[in-house]
Structure 1
């Protein structure tokens, strides 16, 4: 067996988007591979035949990652394949080309060409198509223009690429670029993709469309705003002709679906107890009576999976209704489980195994899910009689070829009886009695968790001879609202938990070299890395990634800053300014002695480049050895879904930075 290489992820297979065909006999999912030389990801659809228990490749164009079942045997997906479509796309002409493929063979054929840029669409019972359409209030409606006018407008749009005019906040979004006055607008099309009419205003942004079981009507989540996007959104019903608003009494809704033709189930929070990170609850909306009812008053759990890993690509369904019950993923402790809730608010555990449920599908009693377990990469599983059965074997080779370090649990109790749970990876070639360096890894969020699932970066550093330690300090997910609430306490109790966990690891594992400690983390983990180096000199070197250094600048420059920064620090630049500054690592930069590498992406609008630049400048000003590596064309997701060569360079930077400060062997 061999050690994991820095670029080993090029050999992994990533799965996403499992979804059943009507009837449940077939299911499709996307399979993603890394093309390191081409610096891209190759995505194709695969088919699972339940009767034959067989998986086969369905597409081979390397661009198919999202899809929709048209019927029991046909799949549709949007893509650009021919030269004419590519030319139209490059000219900024609005269109979306949908292809259709039969699961029993044959090439994909052009099916529908929308004459608008469509982001999502649903086929209605009457043959019409309900869709979310890209709409730019800064541009002219291309369908209203004649050939000459369209040519002039396309020319103008190309020229406008050199300018951005901002008129609202947020004015950009991570991974989405500049968004000022741009929306996803609800629209109706005929069966051939011809635009019929808009169903929402020009300043309404559609977040979710879910059809009723008979596909005659839909529930819509959206936000309507100018100047500043609100934190509370809107619920409405499309009745087949019009969109009718529903009263939700000041809730922030994250999901809506039909339990029946006359009953909706919602996940929502009023944010009054814990602000933006408050765990949601389930509500029922009776469409006939117009009544909203809270189903789970005492519920206090995460309603999504937040188990982190850098060995995923693509997404998939984490909530869905089947037989009048809503199935959903939840984070419990260090794992994500699958549960269901009925119309009375009764909760039932469906799947509670170690690891993560990344996405799932259920049809005709058949439940499939994509997950990670037993320190393995993703696989497709079937849940049968309460037991998981693995279907795909794309990644089984890692246990046959690679030296993996199995996570060992390590926890310590808090005074209130709760625990800080974490893990330790021993060096891959561990020899008892030999001293090894220690790397503390800190997750993002902060409301996420580390689990025992496969994590490429952590496994790589274990293969390079580090003890890798990682935990879930207060602020993390999986243990209810109170545990995740660190508003106004950033750098206080979470810092205490991380340092106590480090001390416990050093006491527990005598072969850890306490004089040879390193630290890294991204996003919130980058914030904590910046904070740590300003409050202790115990680490020989640090790598701060996509970090926050100054809450005041973060508030005023990032896509979530104006509502995240004030909520999390319990202050603002104008109210209790000093409290916000007190929680900013930049304030303590003059105390730093630790050599620090900064990793940042030019298009990271979640934790903008200025955060890394400020901290880097401060360290250089005070004579601390430091380095900043900026990645063009990347955003906040660099470590998880960035271009393959960029992911290699990122990990190379961290690896070489730490090695630079390792003791020289005599």
Structure 2
């Protein structure tokens, strides 16, 4: 029996447990159980049927709010909906039939510290986070399905605490690092001053929004950082940065690596292509399409940047990204020669090898690509950057960690070796004792080394 989550009631006499009982291959579905902590017994509460529960929370002893989906519309990454669960009759009722938003914070930054619950009960409300376009917000819902936004400021709500309606937030606003905020009648006031020094001691660049229509009815949101001390009429190198996920978002909050590159004399540009979070299920759904519509969005965004910001030297543009962004970097260099240098971080090169080694689960590649090695080997290979390694001419740096179990070392080793095999200049930098989170929570000395490796690589091919 696998316990996925457990929520204890206020009296600490009962618990709502989400779990699954199985032998052999774990199912995608799960169940909700009510555990009596006094008698040490457990009873299944969820109705019959395949369902993937994300959370369950007591409203009172007779009623709970749960969150989940059946994967039928958009696969494993489908945004969950809210349901009420009657703990006496074991009946479930859909509360939010038109709710298409993710219930977590997926706004990217490499400058966060700490952690916290993404959902919590206070009184008759379940508080939860959403990611909408380029920002995350705190919301609440009651057992009747009445939902309201608690915060309205753009940026990132990272963590929060609620007691008797009083709300404290750890948030990132504008280019400020994390601070503690108090919410009073919907208005935020900052109550700490841990990180304001960076506004005074460093030169920061405000992201400039750049949105465009990539396809009929499809608007892609992006941003551009100009180089620090930018002089109009002077040509500068540029870096396209691609986020991971793919179901996450870039926004306007502080991102250290990109501010660093702007201080090093680069234009830095980034966007949220199809596959990203923030715009509902349909926008995020690129199952079976990896390397197609998302690649098109990124290339059209690059075209738009070069058109609007004519001081970006089109002959000196590099590309980088991590995880999904690493996959896309590997994909890009096999499909275009427009980038003069690349840095693929914690990347995927081969869906066949990745699919049954990754700690994300056996189902991820099958769901996202739409095949197994036995049902359609060719489809997995067609979406693998390694297939196109013989087309690469771009000098490429590979950054990987030896304890990365999300995208294992062989993903970098295969692509690196393939490029060497075909005579393409490449370098592999492996970090010992680090994992998939190197760029965000790695050891300080290794984070510095990683950023220096990437920057030196770009300096070599884009500046010299």
Fold conserved (TM > 0.5)? Answer: yes
1:331 aligns to 2:126 (yes or no)? no
CA contact (8 A) 2:347 2:412 kept: yes
Distance in 2, Cα, partners of 1:562 & 1:459: 37
SS at match of 1:662: helix
CA contact (8 A) 2:209 2:221 kept: yes
CA contact (8 A) 1:213 1:261 kept: no
Alignment of 1:432-471 (within 5 A): 432-471=232-271
| 2:368 match | 568
SS at match of 1:260: coil
Distance in 1, Cα, partners of 2:139 & 2:92: 23
SS at match of 2:341: strand
CA contact (8 A) 1:600 1:631 kept: yes
| 2:46 match | 247
Distance in 1, Cα, partners of 2:215 & 2:451: 38
1:315 aligns to 2:112 (yes or no)? no
| 1:278 match | 78
Which one is further off, 297-306 or 529-538? 297-306
| 2:402 match | 602
SS at match of 1:526: helix
1:206 aligns to 2:6 (yes or no)? no
| 2:101 match | 301
- CA displacement 1:240-275 (0-9 Å, x = unmatched): 321212224321111111111211111101011110
Deviation (angstroms), 1:313: 2.4
- CA displacement 1:20-49 (0-9 Å, x = unmatched): xxxxxxxxxxxxxxxxxxxxxxxxxxxxxx
Distance in 1, Cα, partners of 2:309 & 2:260: 20
- CA displacement 1:553-598 (0-9 Å, x = unmatched): 0112212252000101111111121111111000000000000000
Deviation (angstroms), 1:230: 2.2
Distance in 1, Cα, partners of 2:348 & 2:263: 29
| 1:658 match | 458
Deviation (angstroms), 1:215: 2.1
Deviation (angstroms), 1:427: 0.6
Deviation (angstroms), 1:510: 1.6
Deviation (angstroms), 1:495: 0.3
Which one is further off, 356-365 or 436-445? 356-365
- CA displacement 1:426-453 (0-9 Å, x = unmatched): 1112111111111000000000000101
- CA displacement 1:445-482 (0-9 Å, x = unmatched): 00000010111111110110100000000000000010
CA contact (8 A) 1:554 1:561 kept: no
| 1:420 match | 220
Distance in 2, Cα, partners of 1:494 & 1:453: 23
Please, what TM-score do these two structures have when normalized by structure 1? 0.68
- CA displacement 1:534-571 (0-9 Å, x = unmatched): 00111110000000000000112212252000101111
SS at match of 2:295: helix
Distance in 2, Cα, partners of 1:651 & 1:394: 24
Which one is further off, 496-505 or 555-564? 555-564
Distance in 2, Cα, partners of 1:325 & 1:560: 31
Q: Look at both structures and tell me which one has the larger radius of gyration over its CA atoms.
A: 1
| 1:359 match | 159
| 1:267 match | 67
Deviation (angstroms), 1:207: 2.2
Alignment of 1:170-209 (within 5 A): 204-209=1-6
Alignment of 1:380-529 (within 5 A): 380-529=180-329
Distance in 2, Cα, partners of 1:576 & 1:251: 26
- CA displacement 1:153-202 (0-9 Å, x = unmatched): xxxxxxxxxxxxxxxxxxxxxxxxxxxxxxxxxxxxxxxxxxxxxxxxxx
CA contact (8 A) 1:374 1:452 kept: yes
Distance in 1, Cα, partners of 2:347 & 2:274: 19
Distance in 1, Cα, partners of 2:127 & 2:235: 48
Distance in 2, Cα, partners of 1:323 & 1:538: 56
1:216 pairs with 13, 22, 34, which one? 13
Task: List alignment gaps of at least 5 residues for structure 2.
Answer: none
1:292 pairs with 73, 87, 92, which one? 92
CA contact (8 A) 2:347 2:407 kept: yes
Please, what TM-score do these two structures have when normalized by structure 2? 0.97
| 2:177 match | 377
Distance in 2, Cα, partners of 1:234 & 1:313: 33
CA contact (8 A) 1:546 1:600 kept: yes
Deviation (angstroms), 1:229: 2.4
Deviation (angstroms), 1:646: 1.1
User: Aligned-pair RMSD on alpha carbons?
Assistant: 1.1
| 2:358 match | 558
